[in-house]
Chain A
Amino acid sequence: MVDIASYGVYVPRYRIKAEEINQAWGRSGGRGEKAVAAPDEDVLTMGVKAARAALMRASLDGAQVEAVYFASISSGYAENALAAQLAGLLGANQGVSVADFGLSTRSVTSALQACTDAMEAGRIGCGLVIASDRLIAKPGSDYELSYAAGAAALVLAKEGFASLGGFSAYSSGFVGRSRAEGQFHGTVDERFVMQQGFLEHISLAIQDLTKVMNITLDQFGQVVLHAPDLRWGNRALAQIGLDPKKHVSTFAQIGYAGCASFLVDLAYALEKLTSLRKILAVSYGPGGSDALALSVEKQPSKMHGLMTVEEQLNQKEHVSYSTYLRYSRLLGGPR
């Protein structure tokens, strides 16, 4: 059995409202806001904080972790070892299994799957999956309204409060949004990507999962959808026939933080849980989609001294567009 033993989330302190971004570009209106990292934060500093929170909730020492798997699409490095650096910062033993996942936001579930596999193979007894992203969109682009920063982590162990019940992958050669090294996301036909990419892939992944597990959608009490856009998520709910009340999303509050968004929303779902139920969580990124089913068996522990996801969503400081631009470090400048 592979269980989720703990979760941790890090949401940076700063926010910018969509309205403020629009105003800077001479547009009016705008809904929601997104999380902005400080100029001295990167995927590693945020990832460490999420991971430390997860370890603290599980009362675990870094030395007890046997795997550190890290997923990110925005580290900015072509060569580096972030999972190994994270393992060192967390105090893991040198024999720890480390792996860096990336290139698609879906890699967050690849990391989760890899950790699950290692546990099922009996190679490790306790693993840490960390996702962290700091997406920077081209100023003035539509993506600028949603691209955000954040991190989250899960501790997987033999005994936890939720079991990973089923896993289903759907892969195709479909890419959709993509980005060359050191460049911004290019403009694509968003309706095409939403329909032929996102909707198509998550539907098929979910379909496969329900078939394999012999389960119906109404048995899921909560749903996490890895949507890079609020409208995509809403369209998906309608198309799949899911009750919007079951949808757990932090998108309106913190925007879209790549790999991290999937785990942040999943952690938020675990935190908001009022009764024991099943959670459907579906990741998406270039290449395909993974669907997984969680069975919550116990209430996750509330830790004194640890900020809840809700508290992190609410503890915020709004910044102006010029401050946001400085924090993005698109113009260089000090950390």
Chain B
Amino acid sequence: MTSPLVWRISRESARLIGYKCTSCGWVSFPERKRTCKRCGAAPAEFEELQMKPFGKIISFVIQHRLPEGFQTPLPLAVVEFDEGARVYGEIIDCRPEEVQVGLEVEADLRVMYEENGLDIYSYKFKPRRGSA
């Protein structure tokens, strides 16, 4: 990573580390917070939380118009991790028709963009498929 923007959240982002407010249970991810966005506690006490790479789609769109750098049509969702944190995520490894509200997804490490010739990594989401 070459930019402070990525570096600041790199530990949390790479390893899915969230912070849980001890007064209301809200989970901040990937930002490390001292105030709570749900209950407004200030200062709030947060516990570090190792999240699992699983969540579900709260809502989605299929993006047809995006600037250069994105492949379209692109399914894009609000994903809620099982631990409660909410993020935007691209849905991969499935046909656009498969994407639906409530679909269980798994976070999957991917290259997001390039900066100065370096691949910058984060997670996209793929449908959670059963395994034997």
User: Contacts of A77 on B, CB cut-off 8 Å?
Assistant: 117-118
Whether the Cβ atoms of A49 and B110 lie closer than 8 Å is no
Smallest beta-carbon distance B108→chain A, Å: 8
- Grouping DSSP codes into helix (H, G, I), strand (E, B) and loop, the B interface class, with mixed when no group exceeds half, is mixed
Using a CB-CB cutoff of 8 Å, which residues 97-132 of chain B contact chain A?
109-114, 117-119, 121, 124, 129, 131-132
With most chain A CB atoms within 10 A of its CB, the pick from B10, B70, B109, B121 is B109
Known contacts A13-B93, A333-B71: does B15 contact A45 (CB below 8 Å)? no
Interface residues on B, range: 20 to 34
Contact of A335 with B112 in the complex, beta carbons under 8 Å:
yes
- Cβ contact within 8 Å between B109 and A49: yes
Number of interface residues of A (CB under 8 A): 24
Q: Is A89 touching B14 in the complex (CB atoms < 8 A)?
A: yes
A189 at the binding interface (Cβ < 8 Å): no
Closest chain B residue to A88 by CB distance? B14
Complex contact B92–A40 (CB within 8 A): yes
A41 at the interface (CB under 8 A from B): yes
The answer to whether the Cβ of A328 comes within 8 Å of any Cβ in the partner chain is no
Known: A45-B121, A305-B131. A40 touches B15 (CB 8 A): no
Contact yes or no, B110 A40, CB < 8 A:
yes
Query: Do residues A91 and B15 form an inter-chain contact, with CB atoms below 8 A?
Result: yes
B-facing residues in A3-61 (Cβ within 8 Å): 13, 38-42, 44-45, 48-49
* CA of A255 to CA of B116, assembled, Å: 31
B71 near A89: Cβ-Cβ < 8 Å: no
Interface residues of A in 273-316 (CB under 8 A from B): 305-308, 311, 315
- 26 chain-A/chain-B pairs, Cβ below 8 angstroms: A38-B93, A39-B71, A40-B92, A40-B110, A40-B112, A40-B124, A41-B110, A41-B111, A42-B111, A44-B119, A44-B121, A45-B121, A48-B109, A77-B117, A77-B118, A80-B118, A88-B10, A88-B14, A306-B131, A307-B131, A308-B132, A311-B132, A315-B129, A334-B69, A334-B71, A335-B112
| Chain B interface residues (CB < 8 Å from chain A) | 10-11, 14-15, 68-71, 92-93, 109-114, 117-119, 121, 124, 129, 131-132
Interface residues of A (CB under 8 A from B): 13, 38-42, 44-45, 48-49, 77, 80, 88-89, 91, 305-308, 311, 315, 333-335
3 tightest A-B contacts by CB?
Answer: A40-B110, A334-B71, A40-B111
